[in-house]
Amino acid sequence: MIIKTDKTIPASEITDPLVFQQRRKIIKALLASALLPAGIVPVSANTELQPRWPEPTDSTDSGGLGPTTPAELVKNYTNYYEFSFNKEDSTELAQRLPTANWTIEIGGEVEKPGHYQLEDILSRQTLREYVYRFRCVEAWSMVVPWVGFPLAELIKWVKPLSGAKFVKFTSVYDPGSMPKQRIDAMLNWPYVEALRIDEAVHPLTILAAGMYGDVLPKQNGAALRLVVPWKYGFKSIKAIVKIELLQRAPMTTWHEFAPSEYGFYANVNPSVPHPRWSQFSERQLGSGFFTPRRQTELYNGYGEQVASLYSDMDLRHFY
Amino acid sequence: MWLRINNAWIAISIGCLLPLFGLLLDIATDNLGSNPIQAIHIRLGDWSLRFLCLTLAITPIQTMTKWRGMADYRQMLGLYAFFYATLHVLGYLFVDHAGEWGVIGIDIIESSYIWFGVIAYVIVLSLAITSPKSAKKRLGKNWKKLHRLIYYAAGAAVIHYFWQLKGNLFQPLFYLTIVVFLLGFRILVWLKNRQLAKLMLPKGRPISLEEND
């Protein structure tokens, strides 16, 4: 017999509530102790006094990015092909993914390889709010206040060896809860992404465990996801279970699926179109009818911080 | 023939407009998800393609069932395909791009999937313009030749559909299967006619199974 779950049950009820509460507490406490770094939108103060996570950044202008996208839109519009090729369906289906007791394996060219509890990782980090524009290769974008910490901090902590030139990320493989993995549909599962080491340790590159002042919803990549704001969204891998530092560039999922269409770099670039569609403009989620599309910026607007990483590269060739 | 107004005509017209009413209702109740502009766009394109397939399906269904009544509605279904295609194009130009012609120009030049959409629309537009009886008379034999282009329109529309997808091909393959099936049927009929014509030479003319064109 199939028992239909009520859609309105929040993710927190589906996760083992105890574990969820515990993680929440840790994340909250860490947020409370967060410093206010320059250039990053601060979380509201006095979080300890509040029963909830800090208020999400208000919808006025946040760091020149314009208003943040309403959370409901972000929670119901997510490419998560492990669950469904339909964005709306993924939201409901993703609730099946167990995210309690999340463990991340760190290996490869590091001094301290091992299996780490997410709680342990988070308790060593200072969580902050990072408001980034997120630009999908499908030519839509949103402005999301992520809660996370720089990937560089984690890499530093596991002590990379000198041979570490690339960082490979692997998503969870759970055919039991992921229908498209079960039927081996379309992509080679599990989902894999990678960055060059200098991209990985760039201060803009973060691992996010939350958004909008709360724990990351499952459909948005819980328990832990990557966010690389100057690259197309498919680089920002969800539900990470493994991080490896490697000497050579690994094959990545979308690049393997269609090498001529999805490059390893996938830097946002309005003047390098996808072979089948333009990347010149983007539809901003939450904008009204008859509103012009936004003109896409090189490196998604983060050129000042990241252009030097690619200064001697032909961006048409290394798309 | 031009549209004959009777009860069935009214019922079918309303049926053809239901997808539009459904869409307007979804717009009014904000029921189109996080990216409503894209949702509208996809919905209109989908319905245009569905009406194209329905239009193409009428002759084969007639041939198989010997039921002649449907041919009267082929023109109407074709015009609804044009109607939804036009809304799809207008939505692209004015709802999504807000009439910014510079951006639209770049978008069309750089997006090969749109080229197929343009081909499909130009064909459907020219078929709609030559749809009235008067145009049919004036074009004579050429009318039928011109209106066979509907297969190219359907093919281009299916390519337009799957060419813009990131990878998942299920839905466009579904439409492609239908179009290929319908086209295959026509080819079979054509081959059969040719055989019959050969057999009957020099006595008679080939039998045409398409009587209402």
Q: Write the pLDDT tens digit of every residue in B141-169.
A: 999 899 989 999 999 999 999 888 876 56
- B192: closest CA of chain A, how far (Å): 40
Taking CA–CA distances from B108, the nearest residue in chain A reads A278
Taking the Cβ of residue B100 and every Cβ of chain A, the question of whether any pair is shorter than 8 Å is answered with: yes
Q: Could A290 and B113 be called an inter-chain contact, meaning their C-beta atoms sit closer than 8 Å? A: no
Asked if residue B211 belongs to a domain, the reply is no
Taking CA–CA distances from A284, the nearest residue in chain B reads B35
pLDDT of residue A11: 42
- A215: closest CA of chain B, how far (Å): 21
pLDDT of residue A62: 58
pLDDT of residue A20: 52
- A308: closest CA of chain B, how far (Å): 27
Asked if residue A101 belongs to a domain, the reply is yes
Asked if residue A305 belongs to a domain, the reply is yes
ipTM above 0.90, yes or no: no
SS3 state at A91: helix
User: Which of B30, B103, B166, B171 is best to mutate for the A interface (most A CBs within 10 A)?
Assistant: B166
pLDDT of residue A244: 98
pLDDT category of residue A17 using cuts at 50, 70 and 90: very low
Asked if residue B97 belongs to a domain, the reply is yes
Span A298-312, pLDDT tens digits: 999 999 999 999 999
Establish whether A238 is an annotated binding residue.
Answer: yes
Number of other CB atoms surrounding residue B44 within 10 Å? 24
CA distance A89 to A78: 9
CATH code, domain with A82: 3.90.420.10
* Domain enclosing residue A136, as ranges: 12-310
CA distance A159 to A161: 7
Nearest to B112 among A79, A87, A276 (CB): A276
Q: How many structural domains are present in chain B?
A: 1
Q: How many structural domains are present in chain A?
A: 1
Count chain A–chain B contacts defined by CB atoms under 8 A.
76
- B126: closest CA of chain A, how far (Å): 26
Asked if residue B122 belongs to a domain, the reply is yes
Asked if residue A231 belongs to a domain, the reply is yes
Taking CA–CA distances from B114, the nearest residue in chain A reads A277
Nearest to B34 among A138, A257, A285 (CB): A285
Taking CA–CA distances from B95, the nearest residue in chain A reads A290
Q: Could A186 and B167 be called an inter-chain contact, meaning their C-beta atoms sit closer than 8 Å? A: yes
Span A22-77, pLDDT tens digits: 666 666 666 555 444 434 444 443 333 322 344 555 544 456 888 999 999 999 99
Asked if residue A7 belongs to a domain, the reply is no
Q: Which amino acid is at A253?
A: T
pLDDT of residue B170: 63
Chain B, 134 to 193: residues with Cβ < 8 Å from chain A are 163-164, 166-168, 170
Q: Could B103 and A88 be called an inter-chain contact, meaning their C-beta atoms sit closer than 8 Å? A: no
Asked if residue A2 belongs to a domain, the reply is no
B57 with B99: CB under 8 angstroms?
A: no
Asked if residue A146 belongs to a domain, the reply is yes
pLDDT of residue A39: 40
- B74: closest CA of chain A, how far (Å): 33
Asked if residue B84 belongs to a domain, the reply is yes
Taking CA–CA distances from B170, the nearest residue in chain A reads A85
Q: Could B34 and A73 be called an inter-chain contact, meaning their C-beta atoms sit closer than 8 Å? A: yes
Span B53-97, pLDDT tens digits: 999 988 888 878 877 777 778 899 999 999 999 999 999 999 999
Asked if residue B209 belongs to a domain, the reply is no
SS3 state at A267: strand
Instruction: Judge whether residue A216 has pLDDT over 60.
Output: yes
State the DSSP string of A110-166: BSS-EEEEHHHHHHTS--EEEEEEEE-TTSEEEEEEEEEEEHHHHHHHT-B-TT--E
Asked if residue B149 belongs to a domain, the reply is yes
Q: Could A292 and B94 be called an inter-chain contact, meaning their C-beta atoms sit closer than 8 Å? A: no
Taking the Cβ of residue B110 and every Cβ of chain A, the question of whether any pair is shorter than 8 Å is answered with: yes
Share of chain B above pLDDT 90, in %: 54
Query: Which of chain A's residues have a Cβ under 8 Å away from the Cβ of B111?
Result: 273, 276-278
Asked if residue A170 belongs to a domain, the reply is yes
Taking CA–CA distances from B165, the nearest residue in chain A reads A138
Asked if residue A143 belongs to a domain, the reply is yes
Query: Which of chain B's residues have a Cβ under 8 Å away from the Cβ of A316?
Result: none
Residue A283 forms beta bridges with which residues?
A140
A205 with A153: CB under 8 angstroms?
A: no
Query: Which of chain A's residues have a Cβ under 8 Å away from the Cβ of B110?
Result: 273, 277-280
Chain position carrying tokens 């050579």: A248
Taking CA–CA distances from B111, the nearest residue in chain A reads A277
Q: Could A277 and B111 be called an inter-chain contact, meaning their C-beta atoms sit closer than 8 Å? A: yes
Establish whether A112 is an annotated binding residue.
Answer: no
Instruction: Judge whether residue B7 has pLDDT over 70.
Output: yes
* Domain enclosing residue B44, as ranges: 7-200
Which 3-state string (H, E, C) describes chain B?
Answer: CCCCCCHHHHHHHHHHHHHHHHHHHHHHCCCCCCCHHHHHHHHHHHHHHHHHHHHHHHHHHHHHHCCCHHHHHHHHHHHHHHHHHHHHHHHHHHHHCCCCHHHHHHHHHHCHHHHHHHHHHHHHHHHHHCCCHHHHHHHCHHHHHHHCCHHHHHHHHHHHHHHCCCCCCHHHHHHHHHHHHHHHHHHHHHHHHHHHHHHHCCCCCCCCCCCCC
A143 with A69: CB under 8 angstroms?
A: yes
Number of other CB atoms surrounding residue A77 within 10 Å? 22
Taking the Cβ of residue B30 and every Cβ of chain A, the question of whether any pair is shorter than 8 Å is answered with: no
Nearest to A138 among B100, B113, B166 (CB): B166
